[in-house]
Amino acid sequence: MSVIKMADLDLSGKRVLIREDLNVPVADGKVTSDARIRAALPTIEAALAANAAVMLVSHLGRPTEGEPEEKFSLKPVADRLGELLGRDVPLATDWIDGVDVEPGHVVLCENVRFLAGEKACDEALAMKMAALCEIFVMDAFGTAHRAQASTYGIAEHAPVACAGPLLAAELDALGKALDNPARPFVAIVGGSKVSTKLTVLDTLANLVDTLIVGGGIANTFIAAAGHNVGKSLFEKDMLGTASDLARDEHDRAEIPVPDDVVVAPEFSAAAPPATKTVAEVGDDDMILDIGPETAARFAAILKNAGTIIWNGPVGVFEFDSFGDGTRILSEAIAESDAFSVAGGGDTLAAIDKYGVRDRISYISTGGGAFLEFVEGKKLPAVEILEQRAS
């Protein structure tokens, strides 16, 4: 099924409400990283150039619904967006009953999570949002896995509901990587959210040829293989699942487990690193990175890949002593001819730290949404756009 795209619609003179992901870090009333605002610019500029009356909607942080709080206000975003667009961007604080905006102008609506009923996808709230516009544009991939009033309910009720350019590009790129992937197809799943990534591993093992594990996930596989992991982050409840996955022979992915690791006595930037084989890890050790031999072995697998999906750093890359594994793998992805897709907040931070952003084929703006897409789950906010297109 396909969706209507904003690029295919005549927006001239129309009231167009765009759901953006402008959830950026703010400190002291200033935006500290404007990457998401910059990512949204082409869509906003295209709508303005088409002479639409543009209303922007986004969440910011996790305020208590129905209790507007200054620290979650989108005012700093309106200011930064205004600088980037080179025009005034007014912030509409009371917008749900009507927004004053002329064609060729843009208004940012205050934090949608200030409204009671947003998260529960309250129907009355969604209908009010839908009544504000003639065309609803969903352009926030990072929130597409949540069925809320501003991502799902409004799309049910708006006269026309379509995908914005950012969302459309994201779905195309991810679809291309997953529909008919060039092989070998390799996934890297690392990081610290071990239990939430469990279902992903099980699904991925059916899709990919090699599943590289790192971080707390690798530690769980090391423990499942019968080794001591000392004080390392791992998931006890997942040991059975990990050994099932590792043992599985039914045409599922190969899961190469690290054979050397970098350990430290504590979780800190200053902790002295030591390289050990997995058999040498002691009770007081914390595994904080994959070792150099393992990194070289994984890098060789990545260089030879046809498609790579990456979510989760393989070590505590924020501390330089434990960043080599993630650095070596990110460089291997950059050097590989594979079509590569990466997503996840900390994964993107690692990509920037190691300067490989422009050598990764596609950077997903979503973390949770990216993983759910990879798992083959239908994203609710996309599903409703498909229904509205048919």
Which residues are at the interface with ligand ADP (CB under 6 A)?
190-193, 215-216, 219, 233, 287-288, 311-313, 315-316, 318, 344-347, 367
Query: Which residue number, 137 or 194, has a Cβ lying nearer to ligand ADP?
Result: 194
User: Which of ligand ADP, Mg ion, none sits in contact with 142, Cβ below 5 to 8 A by type?
Assistant: none
Residues numbered 340-369 forming contacts with Mg ion, rule: CB under 5 A: 345-346
Q: Which is nearer to Mg ion, 207 or 348 (CB)?
A: 348
The site partner of 175 among ligand ADP, Mg ion, none (C-beta below 5 to 8 Å per kind) is none
Q: Does residue 170 belong to the site contacting Mg ion (CB under 5 A)?
A: no
Residue pair 65/115 in contact (Cβ under 8 Å)? The answer is yes
Please give the structure tokens belonging to residue 324. Answer: 């080599």
Buried b / exposed e over 283-322, threshold 16 CB at 10 Å, is eebbbbbbbeebbebbbebbeebebbbbbbbbbbbebebb
CB of 347 to Mg ion, least distance (A): 8
Positions marked catalytic: 36, 193, 345, 368
Phi first, then psi: give them for residue 224, nearest 5 degrees. Answer: -65, -25
DSSP code, position 64: P
In eight-state DSSP terms, residue 50 is T
Least Cβ distance, residue 362 to Mg ion (angstroms): 19
Q: Which does 192 bind (CB under 5 to 8 A by kind): ligand ADP, Mg ion, none?
A: ligand ADP
Closest distance to ligand ADP from the beta carbon of 309 (Å): 12
Of 37 and 342, which has the nearer Cβ to ligand ADP?
342
**CA torsion, ordered 89, 93, 95, 101, to nearest 10 deg:** -20
Q: In terms of CB distance, is 152 or 322 closer to ligand ADP?
A: 322
CB contact at 8 A, 297 and 308: no
Amino acid at 159: P
Query: CB of 367: closest distance to Mg ion in angstroms?
Result: 6
What is the C-alpha to C-alpha distance for residues 298 and 292, in angstroms, rounded to an integer? 10
The partner in contact with residue 312, picked from ligand ADP, Mg ion, none with C-beta cut-offs of 5 to 8 angstroms by kind, is ligand ADP
Complex with ligand ADP: residue 76 or 367, whichever CB lies closer: 367
Q: Which does 313 bind (CB under 5 to 8 A by kind): ligand ADP, Mg ion, none?
A: ligand ADP
Cβ proximity to ligand ADP, 268 vs 387, nearer residue: 268
Compute the least distance from the CB of residue 109 to Mg ion, in Å: 28
Q: Which residue has its beta carbon closest to Mg ion? A: 346
Contact call for residue 324 and Mg ion (CB under 5 A): no
Chain-centroid distance, C-alpha 111: 20
Q: How far is CA 163 from CA 137, 138, 271, 358, 387, in A?
A: 6, 5, 48, 25, 12
Cβ neighbourhood burial of 262 (10 Å; 0-12, 13-18, 19+)? buried
Residue 287 interacts, among Mg ion, ligand ADP, none and using kind-specific CB cut-offs from 5 to 8 Å, with ligand ADP
* Secondary element (H or E) of residue 277: strand 274-277
List contacts with Mg ion (CB under 5 A): 345-346
